[in-house]
């Protein structure tokens, strides 16, 4: 551990999931790296990824098919260049992980590729049945632990990015144990803080998914893109007294059936692919069925798959449900949709460079355009690996032409900042989550979005000061990210992918291929045509190595 007086590094990585760890492994080749984690390092979204990682490595598959499936799931709003990078570089990143010790499930000596919704081939690699994210993080942490140039600072909450002369060159950080605020300088910063599921009352995300990276990048002047596209996972465990628990899409891929409260299968009425339809369609079908039957949930039925198969294939899910007195080998599982994944985020090019020089982003916090309006199942872990590496390589190229910044002025300013406490922080957090779920959830309308943005604007004024503690700062971040989501959803007057407007149900209204873009400097939503998107981004981002 380095002393406080020498705390600084060539590179700062904020977040320690798959994307952050993979970026750090490239950064450490040329300089010292500090990896910041709020709370415990085993609380990242990556750890909880059950279903698997999609990669075109089986005999029946190829990258062109994977690209087609991804673009189709994204409803025409994917950036093809980014998707091509994902599917073409994905196999190399997975093989690299295997060389480092990752153990993916096999059958008869060959990898056991599974199929999930909207995939036309079996291409899902799994580890220990339903613990794929856990295995990938384990291997990456072990590999990072072998690098002397990587220093991990756990229980360090990043408050804000430091910008000097238009360049991101460090961060303000809270030591959660000592409650000391400090500034850590760096030649380049990589954001990999994950998503923002906690802005919704029902979410599969862990408690620390409060949108911190998106909020701090937004405050620093970086551009956010596609914030209206929030993926709602169709099937999370519904128990009134417990937080939602994700029930992997692979359960339907293996033959699980959805039933309403009358016991009737219903998905075939909504889509020809039935339970294997894309996530946005399945989620809204469940929502519609719940409304039609006046129920708070539907059921996922895997009892016909056989007890031994279910226990072997889904050991984590089986054990978790059993703790709630539900034996999924004998009983139907009560399920309902929950907020799951942000397709939007900090706008980047295909190398992870944001619109703020010196700041790079990868993983769920970023929006490279790879997911479009709806993420293809199990592409997220692959995205973390591929774009985590690319962000690391690009940050190295950027930093090679920069010296270590002098942040003495910022240190002095920090000493004079008056830190406040947010009154009724937990009440604001709870009210925000209910507002977002009810007004900006699966089904939206102008009326609901106008109400939400007005309330969020009031909360945003309330959280405009600097706060002393992590909990208060998380609420501030949640309010700002939620406001961005609601503003972008209000702007997009059509329905496409995960964004559904009951007052504009058509998908192909004029301008539907445009992307929402939000920047704190002007606080308005701008439009960029999909065909011009690559050039617009490239012209506003620094060249990388």
Digit-coded pLDDT (tens) for 162-200: 999 999 999 999 999 999 999 999 999 999 999 999 999
Q: What is the pLDDT of residue 322?
A: 95
C-alpha to C-alpha distances, 120 to 271, 289, 324, 374, 416, nearest whole angstrom: 16, 27, 35, 16, 58
Q: Which residues does 472 contact at the CB level (< 8 Å), separation at least 6? A: 420, 421, 422, 425, 463
Asked whether the predicted pLDDT for residue 536 surpasses 50, the reply is no
Q: Which of 316, 338, 360 is the last residue of a domain?
A: 338
Q: What is the pLDDT of residue 67?
A: 97
In a domain? residue 91: no
Please return the burial class of 506, using the count of CB atoms within 10 Å of its CB with bins 0-12, 13-18 and 19+.
exposed
pLDDT band with cut points at 50, 70 and 90 for residue 543: very low
Q: What is the pLDDT of residue 537?
A: 25
Q: What is the pLDDT of residue 49?
A: 54
Digit-coded pLDDT (tens) for 437-469: 999 999 999 999 999 999 999 999 999 989 989
Segment 469-477 mean pLDDT: 95
| DSSP letter, residue 506 | -
Q: What is the pLDDT of residue 6?
A: 47
Q: What is the pLDDT of residue 161?
A: 97
Digit-coded pLDDT (tens) for 224-274: 999 999 999 999 999 987 778 889 888 998 999 999 999 999 999 999 999
- Are the CB atoms for 244 and 237 separated by under 8 Å? yes
Q: Which of 301, 318, 338 is the last residue of a domain?
A: 338
**What's the start-to-end Cα distance of the chain, in Å?**
30
Q: What is the pLDDT of residue 46?
A: 55
Digit-coded pLDDT (tens) for 361-377: 999 999 999 999 999 98
In a domain? residue 315: yes
Segment 521-545 mean pLDDT: 33
Annotate 227-246 with b (16+ C-beta within 10 A) or e (fewer): bbbbbbbbbbbbeeeeebbb
Whole-model pTM? 0.90
* CA atoms of 47 and 44, how far apart (whole Å): 6
Segment 470-485 mean pLDDT: 97
Asked whether the predicted pLDDT for residue 544 surpasses 50, the reply is no
Mean pLDDT of the chain: 90
Kindly name the residue from 123, 126, 167, 279 that is annotated as catalytic: 279
138 in catalytic set: no
In a domain? residue 317: yes
Strand partners, 501: 444, 504
* CA atoms of 536 and 350, how far apart (whole Å): 13
In a domain? residue 300: yes
The residue among 150 and 541 whose pLDDT is bigger is: 150
| DSSP letter, residue 417 | P
* CA atoms of 57 and 95, how far apart (whole Å): 10
Are 334 and 431 in a shared domain? no
The residue among 47 and 330 whose pLDDT is bigger is: 330
Q: Tokens 């059950």 map to which residue?
A: 50
In a domain? residue 103: no
Q: Is 369 left (phi over 0), alpha (psi -120 to 50) or beta?
A: left
Q: If DSSP states are collapsed to H, E and C, what string results for 147-199?
A: CCCEEEECCEEEEEEEEECCEEEEEEEEECCCCCEEEEECCEEEECCCCCHHH
Least confident segment among 22-26, 172-176, 347-351, 411-415: 411-415
Least confident segment among 48-52, 104-108, 320-324, 503-507: 48-52
* CA atoms of 283 and 117, how far apart (whole Å): 12
**Residue span of the structural domain in which 462 resides:** 419-526
The CATH number for 320's domain is 3.90.700.10
Digit-coded pLDDT (tens) for 284-305: 999 999 999 999 999 999 999 9
* CA atoms of 505 and 496, how far apart (whole Å): 8
- Count of C-beta atoms within a 10 Å radius of residue 401: 10
Digit-coded pLDDT (tens) for 61-103: 999 999 999 999 999 999 999 999 999 999 999 999 999 999 9
In a domain? residue 280: yes
Q: Which of 338, 366, 394 is the last residue of a domain?
A: 338
Asked whether the predicted pLDDT for residue 2 surpasses 90, the reply is no
- Are the CB atoms for 330 and 232 separated by under 8 Å? no
In a domain? residue 504: yes
pLDDT band with cut points at 50, 70 and 90 for residue 419: confident
Segment 198-211 mean pLDDT: 94
In a domain? residue 11: no
* CA atoms of 191 and 363, how far apart (whole Å): 9
Tokens of 200: 């919704």
Q: What angle, rounded to 10 degrees, do the helices at 446-462 and 425-439 form?
A: 160
Q: What is the pLDDT of residue 521?
A: 63
- Three-point CA angle 251, 254, 258, nearest 5°: 55
Structurally, how many domains does the chain consist of? 2
Q: Is 118 left (phi over 0), alpha (psi -120 to 50) or beta?
A: left
The CATH number for 501's domain is 1.20.58.100
């Amino acid at each position: 551990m380095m002393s406080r007086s020498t705390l600084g590094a060539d590179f700062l990585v904020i977040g320690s999931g798959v994307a952050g760890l993979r970026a750090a492994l490239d950064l450490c080749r040329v300089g010292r790296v500090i990896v910041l984690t709020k709370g415990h390092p085993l609380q990242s979204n990556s750890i909880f990824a059950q279903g698997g990682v999609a990669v075109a490595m089986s005999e029946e598959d190829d990258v062109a098919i994977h690209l087609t499936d991804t673009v189709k799931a994204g409803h025409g709003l994917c950036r093809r260049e980014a998707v091509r990078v994902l599917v073409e570089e994905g196999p190399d990143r997975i093989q690299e992980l295997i060389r480092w010790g990752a153990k993916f499930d096999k059958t008869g000596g060959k990898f056991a590729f599974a199929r999930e919704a909207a995939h036309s081939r079996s291409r899902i690699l799994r580890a220990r049945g339903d613990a794929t994210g856990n295995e990938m993080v384990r291997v990456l942490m072990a590999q990072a632990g072998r690098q002397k140039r990587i220093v991990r600072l756990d229980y360090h909450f990043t408050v804000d990015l430091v910008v000097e002369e238009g360049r991101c060159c460090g961060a303000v950080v809270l030591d959660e144990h000592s409650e000391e605020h400090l500034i850590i300088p760096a030649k380049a910063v990589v954001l990999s803080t994950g998503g923002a599921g906690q802005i919704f009352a029902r979410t599969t995300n862990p408690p620390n998914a409060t949108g911190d990276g998106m909020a701090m990048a937004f405050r620093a002047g970086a551009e956010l893109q596609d914030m209206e596209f929030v993926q709602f996972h169709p099937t999370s465990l519904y128990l009134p007294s417990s937080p939602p628990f994700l029930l992997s899409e692979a359960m339907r891929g293996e033959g699980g059936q959805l039933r309403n409260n009358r016991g009737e299968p219903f998905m075939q009425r909504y889509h020809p692919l039935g339970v294997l339809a894309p996530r946005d369609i399945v989620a809204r079908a469940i929502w519609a069925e719940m409304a039609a039957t006046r129920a708070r949930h539907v059921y996922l039925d895997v009892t016909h798959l056989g007890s031994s198969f279910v226990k072997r294939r889904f050991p984590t899910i089986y054990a978790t449900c059993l703790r709630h007195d539900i034996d999924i080998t004998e009983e139907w599982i009560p399920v309902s949709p929950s907020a799951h994944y942000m397709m939007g985020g900090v706008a980047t090019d295909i190398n992870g460079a944001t619109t703020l020089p010196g700041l790079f982003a990868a993983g769920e916090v970023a929006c490279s355009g790879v997911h479009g309006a709806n993420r293809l199942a199990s592409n997220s872990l692959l995205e973390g690996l591929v774009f985590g590496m690319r962000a690391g390589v690009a940050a190295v190229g950027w930093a090679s032409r920069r010296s270590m910044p002098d942040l003495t002025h910022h240190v002095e300013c920090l000493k004079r900042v008056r830190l406040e406490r947010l009154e009724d922080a937990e009440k604001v957090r709870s009210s925000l989550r209910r507002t977002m779920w009810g007004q900006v959830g699966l089904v939206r309308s102008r009326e609901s979005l106008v109400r939400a943005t007005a309330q969020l604007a009031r909360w945003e004024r309330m959280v405009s000061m600097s706060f002393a503690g992590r909990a208060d700062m998380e609420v501030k971040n949640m309010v700002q990210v939620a406001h961005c989501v609601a503003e972008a959803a209000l702007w997009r007057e059509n329905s496409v992918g995960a964004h559904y407007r009951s007052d504009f149900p058509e998908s192909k209204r004029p301008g539907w291929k445009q992307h929402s873009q939000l920047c704190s400097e002007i606080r308005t939503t701008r439009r960029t045509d999909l065909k011009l998107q690559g050039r617009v981004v490239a012209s506003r981002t620094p060249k990388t190595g």
